[in-house]
Amino acid sequence: MEFCKSNQSKIEAIFSDPKYLQMQLIEKLNATHVVEEPFPHIFINNFLPHDLRDLLINSVSELEFRKYYEGAVPVFHLTEKSPESLLIFRDFILNDLLTPFFNSIFSASDSKKKIELKNTFENISKLSNVEYGSIYFARNPAGGTIKMHVDDNFASFQYVFYFGYKDGSAAPTTDLSLFPQLNIDDYSAELNSKSYFNYGPTNNGVLVFLNTPSSYHGLLSTLTKERLTLCVSAHYYHKNT
């Protein structure tokens, strides 16, 4: 496949020293503290090396995004037939880095970070096994918003990678609800900012949060251009299962 071949040299360059790349990312994870409110989460700006970010964007630029129902956002679901660069990203970043890190079993994590993660995510098992409910890229259209909602699997992490607007400029990140008891229909972009917050616009950031019954999130500000994100639902196992 010509598309995959054109990215082969970039893949080899980015992953030429995987241990060094891994330690760069681990340093960023170790330096970031878990924020407990409104629900446990972390946010890291400029998480991915820019050449890896650019490779991911180029890898999906020629792929076919689909709408699965009327009014849905166009998405591309990662499968075993996806371009090699996306599969390497899944195996290296998700399977070998984020999963063990947030399960507190990563050997390169410092001891304080392991304690912090264990105390925060105590309802998640320490197993390295993980099932992905979904891994997909989404193209949120210009003029679009995302209604405040909570995901229905409370035994999982959500990873959201932000790649900015289509032209490479920074785009809004997810709004996190400060008042989950507020009726979902009451949320609007005009609400006082004390009702929710976000980490500001970015074109290379990652938000990781634990699904809970109160983890309401969405996008209340209207996008001015098409925004690209990568959404991952990582299902771990409860200790009592």
Q: Write the CATH number for 92.
A: 2.60.120.620
Q: What is the mean pLDDT of residues 58-62?
A: 89
In-domain check, residue 23: yes
Q: What is the pLDDT of residue 109?
A: 59
pLDDT at 240: 33
Q: Is residue 121 part of a domain?
A: yes
Over the Cα atoms of the chain, what is R_g?
18
Distance CA 35, CA 209 (A): 9
What tens digit of pLDDT does each residue of 113-160 get?
666 766 666 555 444 456 677 899 999 999 998 888 887 655 577 899
Distance from C-alpha of 179 to C-alpha of 196, rounded to nearest angstrom: 7
* CA atoms of 23 and 84, how far apart (whole Å): 23
- Whether 241 is in a domain gets the answer no
Q: 108 in a domain, yes or no?
A: yes
Note down the domain range covering 83.
Answer: 2-235
* Position 3 pLDDT exceeds 80: no
Q: How many folded domains does the chain comprise?
A: 1
- 45 within some domain: yes
In-domain check, residue 217? yes
CA dist 125 and 128 (Å) reads 9
Q: Which amino acid is at 158?
A: Q
Q: Is the distance from CB of 45 to CB of 199 less than 8 angstroms?
A: yes
Contact residues for 134 (Cβ-Cβ < 8 A; gap 6+)? 77, 231, 232, 233
The whole-number average pLDDT for the span 2-17 is 72
Tens digits of residue pLDDT in 160-213: 999 999 888 999 999 998 876 655 555 554 455 567 888 999 999 999 988 777
- Establish if 240 belongs to a structural domain: no
Mean pLDDT of 82-109: 80
* Planar angle of CA 126, 158, 55, nearest 5 degrees: 110
Q: Is 102 exposed, middle or buried (0-12, 13-18, 19+ CB in 10 A)?
A: buried
Residue 2 has pLDDT above 60, yes or no: no
**Are the beta carbons of 142 and 223 closer than 8 angstroms?**
yes
Backbone torsion region of residue 45, taken as left when φ is above 0, otherwise alpha when ψ lies between -120 and 50, otherwise beta: beta
Bridge partners, residue 161, by sequence: 206, 230
- Tell me, yes or no, whether 110 lies in a domain: yes
Q: Bridge partners of 230?
A: 137, 161
